[in-house]
Chains A and B, each alone.
Chain A
Amino acid sequence: MKSGSTRVLAAASGGGHWEQLMLLRATLDNYDIRFATTEPAVAAQHGIESADRLPDCNQNKPLQSALCGLVALWIVLKHRPQVVISTGAAPGFFCILAGRLIGARTLWIDSVANGEQLSLCGKLSQRWAHECWTQWEHLSSNARPRYFGAVL
C-alpha cells in the first residue's frame, strides 16, 4: 500500500497459470497493476476489462513464439512497468524478457502444478529473470530457484 504507485505488469496464460495470478490479486491490487493474458475473456470474468491480449505460444511453435515475443515487447513498451511478474507460461516468459529490455525488475513464479521439476520457462527464468521462485520447497535451493510459499 505504501508503494501504490509502483507500476506492475502481471502476465499469465489462461487456465491454471491465470488462476494462480488471481490468487495473488489481494497483493497485486495494492499497486498500479496491469494484466496481460492469452484469454482476455477469462480476465473479464474476473472483472479485469483492460487486460492486454498475448498470442498463445510454446516452444514447438517458433512463428507463434516470435509473434508473441513482439506483442510482449509492445505491451511492455506501452505500460513501461517497473516490475514484471509471471506465473507462466511461455507468453509470460516473453513479458519477462521484454521487461528486462526496459530495465524492469522481473519475477518468475513457477506454477504450483510443477511439483516434480521446474517448467522449461522456469529453468530459463533462473538465468533471465531477476528472481525465480518455485512453489515447492523440495525443489528450492539457496541459489535458484528460491521458495517463498505457494498460492495454496
Chain B
Amino acid sequence: MILVTVGMQLGFDRLIAAMDALAPTLGLPVIAQTGKGRYAPQHMDAQAKIAPAEFERLVQQSRLIVSHAGIGTVLTAARFAKPIILVPRRAALGEHRNDHQLATVNQLSGRPGILVAMDEAALPARIAEGLAVKDWSAVQSSTARQLHRALAAFIENRPL
C-alpha cells in the first residue's frame, strides 16, 4: 500500500490530484490523508484527517509514503524505515505561507530513505525508485552518525 499525506492543517490539492491520477497505474492500493483540500479523489481511499495512532499503523503497513515536506512525517517514516517521497509546498501557488518546504527538501535530499519530487511531473520516476528501495533501517546518514558521535562525546565529557 502507498500512503499519501499532506498533513491535517492545510490542503495540498496539487499533490492529491497528481497522486489520484497516478493511482490506477501503480498496482497497489493508495490511501490518502488530504487535509483541508477541496479536491475529491476518485482512485484513492481518502480521508481529510487520520488519527495519529491509525496513521502510525498505516505507515507501518505501507511500502512507500508520498508526502508534503513536513518534518513530522519524515520522522515517522524514519522510525519505521519506510521510504518517503517529499513534494515541497510552494508559496507562489498558495500552498504555504513561505517556501520553507523547499529549503527542507534541499537539505534532506539524498539522505537514506528520502526521495524528492520537486513537482508532480517528477512523481512517476520517484515512485518507481521508492518502490525499489530495499530495507534501509541499518543505513545511517552521515549527519546522523555525526550527531550520535557528538552526543556520546558530550555525555562522556570529551572534547566535541
Contact = CB atoms under 8 A, between A and B. Distances in A.
B71 interface: yes
B125 interface: no
A122 B156 CA distance: 23
B48 interface: no
Interface in B88-139: 98, 100, 103-104, 107-108, 111, 114
A6 interface: yes
Nearest to A18: B75
Interface stretch (A55-63, A67-75, A90-98, A143-151): A143-151
A128 interface: no
A137 to B, nearest CB: 8
By secondary structure, the B interface counts as helix
Given A148-B147, A148-B160, A150-B143, A19 B155 contact: no
A152 B75 CA distance: 8
A8 B152 CA distance: 11
B27 interface: no
B147 A15 contact: no
A149 B75 contact: no
A152 B154 contact: no
Contact of B151 (A2, A3, A85, A136): A85
Contacts of B160: 131, 146, 148
Contacts of B142: 149
A3 B72 contact: no
Nearest to B76: A19
A141 interface: no
Contact of B78 (A23, A27, A131, A133): A23
A109 B72 CA distance: 16
B150 interface: yes
Contacts of B71: 16, 111-113, 115
Contacts of A150: 141, 143-144, 147
A136 B78 CA distance: 18
Contact of B150 (A15, A26, A115, A133): A133
Nearest to A114: B71
A105 B143 CA distance: 24
Given A113-B71, A116-B100, A3 B155 contact: yes
Interface of A: 2-3, 6, 8, 15-16, 19-20, 22-24, 26-28, 30-31, 83, 85, 105, 107, 109, 111-113, 115-116, 131, 133, 135-136, 146, 148-152
